[in-house]
């Protein structure tokens, strides 16, 4: 007794085409028993907030375009360009978690911020282009077609804070200017995409959107605990490798984490009628919302206390706090997986959460 709908799903799986969308489509068609309770409104609320947060990226990046152009034209100081970079990075870190929906097509998410970069592709590619100086990359359209590693914030960070250093009149400055324009373009596309979520991969129905958005938030939380903290600080202070941290050149590794967590807190704990606590309450799981809030408050407090230190300094002087923070984040993840998601009838990949 072959289940006809199963065969149908298989056929649909076979019909899947089209680059990076396939996995998301496969996920939305896949067989499963649990389904999200009606959560009309929540996905829309999250998407709305993402429109505003991406709009902030567009605005700060617009100022970054001017500041870098000023520095490269000899009218402005490097410090002004660096400050504008920080403002853009601050805005971006509020949306870093949303690596789904419109961030998937055309690799928009990775092009805006290629991370993690375990194979050091950004520095390798930058070193190569700094010596070969291909003219087409100095054009925003040219950079948009280049390797994802060259296109966004991390490449710009190296040019403004590290090597190869941008200086008025040099190739690096031309590249930096092209990158800033490219960042604006990508962020504008993301604003447009989040304003029309139903047309985006994984977001076509409210139910799929809630699943996709909450899964993305959980994935990001785990990335913060694993990639931004645990892998950097190691089991003991001697194992610490602060230069593995995100954005260490601009000294903002821990600031990024604090902002990431503030953004996740808004996704999970904002208190409007369509927000998650209200959904949990409707599902008789108000206490789950409370335990999530308490765990997040603890983690955020610790993250804020470390926010203004460099990772280099903190991994020496506050190694135990950093380990505690990563453990607190695992604790938050456990509440999401064991309490929040089941209360909403959502499934997280039990078998796919991390590498087994």
Partner 1 sequence: MDRRAVLAGLAAGLPMLPALAGATATGVSSSDIRLFAGSQDADGNNSLSLADDRGTARRLAGLPDRGHAVSLSPDGRLAVLCARRAGRFAVVFDPRTGAIRQRLATPETRHFYGHGAFSRDGRLFLATENAFEEGEGRIGVYDAVDGFRRIGEWPAGGIGPHEVVRVPGRDAVLVAIGGLRTHPATGRAKLNVDSMTPSLALMDGRDGAPLGILSLDADLRRLSLRHLAVRRDGVFMIGGQWEGDPTARPPLLAWGRLPDRLAPLPLVDDVLDSLANYIGSLSFCGSGDFAAASAPRGNCCVVLRMGDPPRIHDVLAIEDVCGLAPGQTAGAFYLSNGLGDLFRYRATERAIERLATDVPGIARWDNHLTAVTVEPRR
Please check whether residue 295 is in contact with residue 335, taking contact to mean a CB–CB distance below 8 angstroms.
Answer: yes
Distance, in Å, from the CA atom of 292 to the CA atom of 304, rounded to the nearest integer, reads 18
Distance, in Å, from the CA atom of 356 to the CA atom of 352, rounded to the nearest integer, reads 8
Binding partner 1 by CB under 8 A: which of 66, 143, 245, 347?
347
**Triad 239, 241, 244: Cα angle to 5°:** 145
The answer to whether residue 327 forms part of the interface with partner 1 (CB under 8 A) is yes
The stretch among 28-36, 128-136, 170-178, 310-318 that binds partner 1 (CB under 8 A) is 28-36
Nearer to partner 1 among residue 230 and residue 311 (C-beta): 230
Please check whether residue 95 is in contact with residue 263, taking contact to mean a CB–CB distance below 8 angstroms.
Answer: yes
The answer to whether residue 284 forms part of the interface with partner 1 (CB under 8 A) is no
The answer to whether residue 324 forms part of the interface with partner 1 (CB under 8 A) is no
The answer to whether residue 131 forms part of the interface with partner 1 (CB under 8 A) is no
The answer to whether residue 31 forms part of the interface with partner 1 (CB under 8 A) is yes
Please check whether residue 298 is in contact with residue 328, taking contact to mean a CB–CB distance below 8 angstroms.
Answer: yes
Distance, in Å, from the CA atom of 332 to the CA atom of 222, rounded to the nearest integer, reads 9
The answer to whether residue 341 forms part of the interface with partner 1 (CB under 8 A) is no
Tell which residue, 292, 287, 285, 279, has the closest CA to residue 37: 279
Q: How far is the CB of 122 from partner 1 (least distance, A)?
A: 11
Longest dimension (CA), the chain: 76
The stretch among 30-38, 45-53, 63-71, 73-81 that binds partner 1 (CB under 8 A) is 30-38
The stretch among 15-23, 189-197, 254-262, 266-274 that binds partner 1 (CB under 8 A) is 15-23
The answer to whether residue 63 forms part of the interface with partner 1 (CB under 8 A) is no
Give 241-291 as a DSSP string.
Answer: -GGGSTTTTTT-HHHHHHHHHHHHHHHHH--STTSHHHHHHHTT-HHHHHH
Nearer to partner 1 among residue 40 and residue 239 (C-beta): 239
Give 278-311 as a DSSP string.
Answer: HHHHHTT-HHHHHHHHHHHHHHHHHHHHHTTS-H
Nearer to partner 1 among residue 25 and residue 67 (C-beta): 25
The answer to whether residue 297 forms part of the interface with partner 1 (CB under 8 A) is no
What is the total count of residues that contact partner 1 (CB under 8 A)? 61
The answer to whether residue 281 forms part of the interface with partner 1 (CB under 8 A) is no
- List interacting residues with partner 1 (CB under 8 A): 1-3, 6-7, 9-10, 12-14, 16-23, 26-27, 29-34, 107, 110, 116-121, 148, 225-227, 229-231, 233-236, 239, 244, 323, 326-327, 330, 338, 342, 347, 349-352, 354-356
């Amino acid at each position: 007794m072959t289940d006809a709908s199963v065969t149908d799903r298989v056929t649909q799986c076979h019909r899947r085409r089209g680059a990076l969308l396939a996995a998301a489509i496969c996920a939305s068609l896949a067989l499963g028993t649990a389904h999200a309770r009606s959560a009309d409104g929540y996905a829309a609320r999250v998407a709305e907030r993402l429109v505003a947060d991406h709009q902030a990226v567009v605005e700060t990046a617009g100022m970054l375009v001017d500041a870098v152009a000023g520095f490269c034209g000899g009218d402005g100081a490097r410090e002004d360009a660096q400050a504008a970079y920080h403002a853009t990075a601050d805005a971006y870190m509020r949306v870093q978690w949303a690596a789904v929906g419109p961030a998937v097509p055309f690799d928009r998410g990775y092009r805006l911020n290629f991370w993690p970069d375990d194979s050091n592709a950004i520095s390798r590619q930058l070193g190569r282009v700094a010596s070969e100086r291909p003219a087409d990359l100095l054009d925003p359209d040219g950079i948009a077609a280049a390797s994802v590693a060259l296109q966004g914030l991390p490449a710009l960070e190296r040019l403004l804070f590290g090597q190869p250093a941008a200086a008025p009149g040099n190739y690096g400055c031309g590249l930096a200017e092209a990158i800033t324009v490219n960042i604006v373009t990508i962020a504008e596309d993301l604003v447009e995409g989040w304003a029309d979520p139903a047309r985006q991969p994984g977001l076509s129905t409210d139910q799929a959107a809630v699943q996709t958005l909450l899964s993305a938030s959980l994935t990001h939380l785990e990335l913060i605990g694993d990639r931004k903290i645990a892998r950097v600080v190691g089991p003991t202070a001697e194992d610490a490798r602060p230069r593995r941290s995100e954005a260490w050149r601009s000294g903002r590794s821990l600031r990024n984490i604090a902002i990431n967590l503030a953004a996740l807190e808004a996704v999970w704990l904002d208190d409007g009628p369509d927000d998650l606590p209200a959904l949990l309450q409707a599902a008789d799981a108000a206490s789950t919302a409370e335990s999530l809030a308490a765990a997040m408050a603890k983690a955020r407090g610790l993250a804020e206390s470390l926010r203004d230190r460099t990772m280099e300094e903190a991994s020496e002087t506050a190694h135990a706090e950093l380990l505690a923070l990563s453990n607190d984040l695992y604790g938050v993840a456990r509440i999401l997986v064991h309490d929040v998601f089941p209360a909403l009838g959502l499934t997280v990949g039990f078998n796919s959460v991390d590498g087994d």
